[in-house]
Amino acid sequence: MLKLKFRFTSNHKDGFNPSGVLDSIFIDLTSRCNFNCRYCFNTDCVQADTLDLPISAIIKMLLDNDSLKISNWILSGGEPLLYPHLDEALSLFKQNNIRPKIATNGTLLTSDVADKWVSFGVAAVQFSINTLNENKFAELSNSAPVLLHKVIANLSYAIKLPIRIVVDSVLTKINLKDIFELMPFLYNLGVDSYTVYLYTPGTDLTEMKHYMIDFKDMPYIIDDLINLYLQTCDTRVIDTNLFPIVGTPIYEKWKNKLDLRIHGCSAGQNSLSIKANGKVSPCVCQGAKEFICGDITVSNLSKI
Ligand code: SF4
């Protein structure tokens, strides 16, 4: 996934360990989702069977953490709020003094759930919001337009809680203009950072044929986004894994005006991904059999 992460505050920095030190673990808790996004590349979600990661797999990973010392636990899905064992899982994390991060589409994160997550010690919540236009929202997520208002209401509540709130968007032809509205909107609301996914494995899906941005337009979009970022906020930090940008005219133009932090791919270097079926892949985007390096339901993290 190629992304630009625009930081609105400078008080949070992601840690980057040397290669070979496992630091981050991404867990797809469930394949259940109340959306059916056109760009969804999660193979567990698009297949017919419902998959929920057994709670015993989480217990096994937490036991291993004594030796592995993983500092970033990122819970997603599908939609993690549809995982039937979510409260039990969060309680286990709390007992182990781990403060997970949760990625959600935000529709089900009502005020009572958000309050509960604070009591569980959840460190951060990532909302996925692609547009502020309800028709475009419905077109991209294949869900009811009215749900967008729920997401914005839930985001507006969560932002007031002692929890770090970040937002991401997937760039498509439909929401290109909207991303330029979203950035200042989210900054003024008080979110901590805004990530724009320029390219995901979902970009190549047949369903995305008419929605994907032409690659030749990408440099201009990146340049415009950086320009808008500098006009929007005083923090000058962008994290990106767009490493081919180094040495390009855009990089030369901006490198002395902001802290443009370029990171390599962490797959198999610092991070692992656990799929809802228990299979383990180095890459959060790849669940194909060529990438599978173990199964948490029959083995354990240390061995894998
Ligand atoms: S909300 Fe996420 S998991 Fe659900 S369909 Fe959309 S991209 Fe896939």
Tokens of 28: 């797809």
pLDDT band with cut points at 50, 70 and 90 for residue 68? confident
Which of 30, 32, 35 to probe ligand 1 with, by most ligand atoms within 8 A of CB?
35
Q: What is the H or E stretch that residue 7 is in?
A: strand 2-7
Mean pLDDT of 277-304: 92
* Distance of CA 145 from the midpoint of ligand 1 (Å): 16
pLDDT band with cut points at 50, 70 and 90 for residue 21? confident
pLDDT attached to residue 215:
86
Tokens of 102: 């949760």
pLDDT attached to residue 205:
76
47 lines ligand 1 (CB under 6 A): no
Handedness of CA 107, 112, 115, 119 (dihedral sign): negative
| Whether residue 45 has pLDDT greater than 80 | no
Inter-residue contact 30 to 77 (CB < 8 Å): yes
| Whether residue 97 has pLDDT greater than 90 | yes
| Whether residue 13 has pLDDT greater than 70 | no
148 lines ligand 1 (CB under 6 A): no
Residue whose CA lies nearest to ligand 1 atom number 8: 40
Inter-residue contact 71 to 96 (CB < 8 Å): no
| Alpha-carbon dihedral angle through residues 28, 34, 40, 42, given to the nearest 10 degrees | 30
202 lines ligand 1 (CB under 6 A): no
The closest-lying atom of ligand 1 relative to the alpha carbon of residue 105 is: 1
* Distance of CA 72 from the midpoint of ligand 1 (Å): 21
Give me the residue label for tokens 């819970």: 75
From 225, 227, 156, 232, select the one nearest 196 (Cα to Cα): 225
pLDDT attached to residue 44:
64
From 104, 98, 28, select the one nearest 283 (Cα to Cα): 28
* Distance of CA 213 from the midpoint of ligand 1 (Å): 20
pLDDT attached to residue 299:
94
| Alpha-carbon dihedral angle through residues 139, 80, 176, 256, given to the nearest 10 degrees | 180
Range name among 15-29, 61-75, 116-130 with the lowest pLDDT average: 15-29
pLDDT attached to residue 130:
96
Tokens of 193: 């950072």
Mean pLDDT of 228-256: 93
* Distance of CA 303 from the midpoint of ligand 1 (Å): 31
33 lines ligand 1 (CB under 6 A): yes
Which of 47, 141, 154 to probe ligand 1 with, by most ligand atoms within 8 A of CB?
141
| Whether residue 76 has pLDDT greater than 80 | yes
Residue whose CA lies nearest to ligand 1 atom number 2: 78
| Whether residue 135 has pLDDT greater than 60 | yes
**pLDDT tens readout for residues 171-211:** 999 999 999 999 999 999 999 999 999 988 777 777 777 88
pLDDT attached to residue 47:
66
Inter-residue contact 41 to 67 (CB < 8 Å): no
Give the separation between CA 97 and CA 79, rounded to whole angstroms: 24
pLDDT attached to residue 88:
98
- SS3 of 52, please? strand
The closest-lying atom of ligand 1 relative to the alpha carbon of residue 33 is: 4
* Distance of CA 88 from the midpoint of ligand 1 (Å): 23
- SS3 of 117, please? helix
Tokens of 146: 């009215």
pLDDT band with cut points at 50, 70 and 90 for residue 16? low
79 lines ligand 1 (CB under 6 A): yes
* Distance of CA 99 from the midpoint of ligand 1 (Å): 23
- SS3 of 14, please? coil
Inter-residue contact 93 to 99 (CB < 8 Å): yes
The closest-lying atom of ligand 1 relative to the alpha carbon of residue 42 is: 8
pLDDT attached to residue 203:
75
Inter-residue contact 77 to 126 (CB < 8 Å): no
Give the separation between CA 7 and CA 234, rounded to whole angstroms: 10
* Distance of CA 18 from the midpoint of ligand 1 (Å): 31
H runs (alpha helix) in the chain: 43-46, 55-68, 86-95, 111-120, 134-141, 147-158, 176-189, 218-232, 249-254
b/e per residue 35-74 (b: at least 16 CB within 10 A): bebbbbbbebbeeeeebbbebebbebbbebbeeeebebbb
pLDDT attached to residue 19:
75
Residue whose CA lies nearest to ligand 1 atom number 7: 40
Give the separation between CA 181 and CA 184, rounded to whole angstroms: 6
